[in-house]
């Protein structure tokens, strides 16, 4: 009887979901950098919201790419 105790189901890792999230954040970072270069070359200043968006995308990418410990 003891051997028949069911273990809880662990969710499967969806590799494509992580790849899509990282790709979207990477595209956001690249778009922010290109936008910053275009604005700087035209003499305009960067809005603070765009800088915050780029920083959040970089932080999000770092959070997804850091390995997690499964055995706590």
9: pLDDT strictly greater than 60: yes
Q: Which residue has the higher pLDDT, 30 or 72?
A: 30
Buried b (16+ CB within 10 A) or exposed e, 42-53: eeeeeeeeeeeb
Listed by start position, the domains of the chain span 25-66
% the chain with pLDDT above 90: 10
% the chain with pLDDT above 70: 78
0.85 exceeded by pTM: no
Tell me the pLDDT of the chain averaged across its residues.
81
Residues 6 or more apart whose Cβ sits within 8 Å of residue 4: none
């Amino acid at each position: 009887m003891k051997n028949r105790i069911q273990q809880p189901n662990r969710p499967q890792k969806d590799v494509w979901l992580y790849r899509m999230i990282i790709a979207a954040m990477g595209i956001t970072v690249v778009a922010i950098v290109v936008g910053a270069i275009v604005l700087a070359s035209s003499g305009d200043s960067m809005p603070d919201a765009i800088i915050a968006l780029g920083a959040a995308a970089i932080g999000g990418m770092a959070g997804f790419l850091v390995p997690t410990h499964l055995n706590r």
